């Protein structure tokens, strides 16, 4: 009994998928502790943003812990927990955009647009993976998801978010620019995982075949969830020093 339990939970040295779930859990926990503790060192007006960064990494840490266990016990991809994590954390990242552009006059309608687009992106992605993952038509769901994704990219780079950021002062403008790169490049890691892990490939053409979907997603999450939070942390820091110097 003890023997089987141990075997079930030990990570074999060549199980890279389980290893990245394990490291992901630790990284998310560490980032979460960092954001929560730093909150009190920052200017009041940035505290909610840092709190949200802490919540994003906290939610991810809990899901990574579960996903690690699920993967070790079943040997399968934890599709359901993955998408529960994303459906909670991606809208929170939209809240970050809203919070930092709010000072330049962002309306609540902008937040709903971002959240709606991210829910469409994730629900279609989930259908494509969970229901049609083994069938070629999964490319169609990936395409729908991709359209919603590009709408978010559009809002951040050329639409309302970009316009508001241009009127919000140099620090916010710079931060929104950097977050825009995360959305354009960092988030583009996810469709690569999807193409690698579903039968539909890239519009029906098999691509990225040797890659593990979970490893790609885990790398994407580490970059985007922790990186996003650090950009906001840097913004809050730079803003603090300008007020002190003034």
Residue pair 190/130 in contact (Cβ under 8 Å)? The answer is no
Q: Quote the Cα angle for 31-24-230, to 5°.
A: 30
Sequence-distant (6+) residues with CB within 8 A of 1 are none
d(CA 34, CA 28): 10
Q: Is 192 among the residues that bind ligand RET (CB under 6 A)?
A: no
Site string for ligand RET, 41-80 (x = CB under 6 A): ----------------------------------------
CA dihedral 229, 230, 234, 236 (to 10 degrees): 30
> Which residue of 68, 71, 102, 225 would you call a contact of ligand RET, by CB under 6 A?
225
Our finding on whether 142 is near ligand RET (CB under 6 A) is yes
194 lines the binding site for ligand RET (CB under 6 A): yes
Q: Is 125 a binder of ligand RET (CB under 6 A)?
A: yes
> 138-157 and 189-197 are packed helices; what angle lies between their axes, rounded to 10 degrees?
180
Residues 34, 46, 86, 98: which binds ligand RET (CB under 6 A)? 86
User: Which residue, 78 or 191, has its beta carbon nearer to ligand RET?
Assistant: 191
Instruction: Give how many residues touch ligand RET by CB under 6 A.
Output: 17
Nearer to ligand RET among residue 110 and residue 125 (C-beta): 125
Q: Is 35 in the site for ligand RET (CB under 6 A)?
A: no
Please tell me whether residue 191 binds ligand RET under the rule CB under 6 A: yes
* Distance (Å) of CA 201 to CA 39, 119, 142, 183: 43, 22, 9, 22
Least distance (Å) from ligand RET to the CB of residue 122? 6
43 neighbors 236 (Cβ within 8 angstroms): yes
Residue 177 has a CB neighbour count (10 Å cut-off) of 14
CB 242 → ligand RET: shortest distance, Å?
A: 29
Helix (H, G, I), strand (E, B) or coil at 159: coil
Check residue 190 for interaction with ligand RET (CB under 6 A): yes
- Regarding 146 and contact with ligand RET (CB under 6 A), the answer is yes
Distance, CA of 179 to CA of 53 (rounded, Å): 13
Q: Using CB under 6 A, list all residues that contact ligand RET.
A: 86, 89-90, 121-122, 125, 142, 145-146, 149, 187, 190-191, 194, 221, 224-225
């Amino acid at each position: 009994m003890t023997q089987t339990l141990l075997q079930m939970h030990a990570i074999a040295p060549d199980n890279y998928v389980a290893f990245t779930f394990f490291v992901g859990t630790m990284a998310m926990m560490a980032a979460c502790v960092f954001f929560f503790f730093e909150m009190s060192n920052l200017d009041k007006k940035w505290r909610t943003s840092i709190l949200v960064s802490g919540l994003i990494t906290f939610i991810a840490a809990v899901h990574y812990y579960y996903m690690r266990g699920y993967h070790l016990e079943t040997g399968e991809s934890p599709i359901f927990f993955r998408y529960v994590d994303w459906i909670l954390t991606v809208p929170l990242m939209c809240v970050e955009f809203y919070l930092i552009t709010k000072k330049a006059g962002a309306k609540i309608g902008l937040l709903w647009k971002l959240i709606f687009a991210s829910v469409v992106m994730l629900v279609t992605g989930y259908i494509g993976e969970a229901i049609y993952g083994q069938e070629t038509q999964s490319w169609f769901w990936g395409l729908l998801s991709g359209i919603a994704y590009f709408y978010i990219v559009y809002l951040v780079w050329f639409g309302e978010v970009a316009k508001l950021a241009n009127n919000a002062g140099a620090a916010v403008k710079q931060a929104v620019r950097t977050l825009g790169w995360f959305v354009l490049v960092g988030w583009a890691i996810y469709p690569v995982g999807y193409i690698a892990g579903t039968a539909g490939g890239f519009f029906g053409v098999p691509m990225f075949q040797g890659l593990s979907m979970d490893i790609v997603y885990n790398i994407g999450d580490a970059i985007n969830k922790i990186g996003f939070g650090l950009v906001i942390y840097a913004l809050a820091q730079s803003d603090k020093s300008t007020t002190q110097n003034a």
